Amino acid sequence: MTQNSLQGKTLFVSGGTRGIGKAIVYAFAKEGCDVAFTYASSADTANEIIADVEKLYGVKCKAYKLNILEPLTYKDVYKEFDEDFERLDYFISNAIISGRAVVGGFGPFMRLKPRGLDNIWTATVDAFVVGAQEAAKRMEKTGGGSIISMSSTGNLVYTPNYAGHGTNKAAVETMVRYAAAELGEKKIRVNAVSGGPIDTDALKAFPNYEEVKAEVVNRSPLSRMGEAQDLTGACLFLCSNDSSWLTGQTIVVDGGTTFQ
Ligand SMILES: NC(=O)c1ccc[n+]([C@@H]2O[C@H](COP(=O)([O-])OP(=O)(O)OC[C@H]3O[C@@H](n4cnc5c(N)ncnc54)[C@H](OP(=O)(O)O)[C@@H]3O)[C@@H](O)[C@H]2O)c1
């Protein structure tokens, strides 16, 4: 990694209050990057993170409320962003819905329902599209940038109850490749980072969490579960100049669990 290459740059990441998004906020701030992130309901946590990050790393950090089930509201959030930041270099579409919003979308095949599946599509694909479009308009003004969608290996490996999410992660990876093909002329690179099972709130919500965890440890040649910090290196790499000819790809970070 080129030292200090992210200094003076700005990242916008959705869902920065927990799990992988929170780890991304800290990892980029540590490299001297200013960070804007979104939250859905954890306003207090967002404020605590801002105070902590500014104290630890001396970068600018702001948070905005966003509901990815209403993707067009990204436009309003970006207007708030514009009042706080002068440039945008990196956008990571990371937030994901859980709980009631995924009823009918998270479960065995025979229990899937259009409404739950539609919500996951909205939160995964539509939110990526609108978030990335708004990011691209701003990156164009500063001569380019890097856009990432978080994905998961649940579209490669059978994962119980994960049909809705897995299918939509496959879709968003395809959308990433289309975006990459069309945004390259603006010097904007677009990629996905696909994680194997990572120990976050999202995974703890799985009814068979302990079983999944044991299976991952058993399947991984590295004999451990993934942690949120395990995905930040790939994101930093994709935003650095070291990946300047890398676009339209999915980087799989799975502790070796996909090839069993
Ligand atoms: N965990 C895994 O095993 C795993 C593996 C590979 C990839 N991934 C992917 O990595 C990403 C992050 O996953 P995670 O496990 O870190 O998730 P998580 O711990 O459940 O965190 C979800 C984040 O999204 C926000 N959020 C929830 N509902 C929202 C809504 N309606 N609108 C806007 N934001 C909302 C939450 O904000 P609040 O705190 O305010 O609710 C939180 O910041 C996802 O794209 C996921 O698919 C996860």
* CATH number of residue 226's parent domain: 3.40.50.720
- What residues are annotated to the active site? 162, 169
Residue 260 lies in a domain: no
DSSP string computed for 59-117: --EEEEE--TTSGGGHHHHHHHHHHH-S---EEEE-----GGGGTTTSB-GGG--HHHH
Residue 259 lies in a domain: no
Q: How far apart are CA 22 and CA 11, in angstroms?
A: 13
Task: Tell me the mean pLDDT in the region 181-191.
Answer: 98
CB 32 within 8 A of CB 40: no
Q: Is the distance from the beta carbon of residue 15 to the nearest atom of ligand 1 less than 6 Å?
A: yes
Residue 225 lies in a domain: yes
Domains identified in the chain, total number: 1
Total-model pTM: 0.98
Residue 38 lies in a domain: yes
CA of 185 to the centre of ligand 1 (A): 31
CA 84 from chain centre, in angstroms, equals 22
Which of 20-29, 52-61, 195-204 has the lowest average pLDDT?
Answer: 195-204
Residue 232: pLDDT above 90? yes
| 3 state SS of 199 | coil
pLDDT tens for 3-34 read 458 999 999 999 999 999 999 999 999 999 99
Q: Which ligand 1 atom lies nearest to the CA of residue 228? A: 16
Q: What single-letter DSSP state applies at residue 122?
A: I
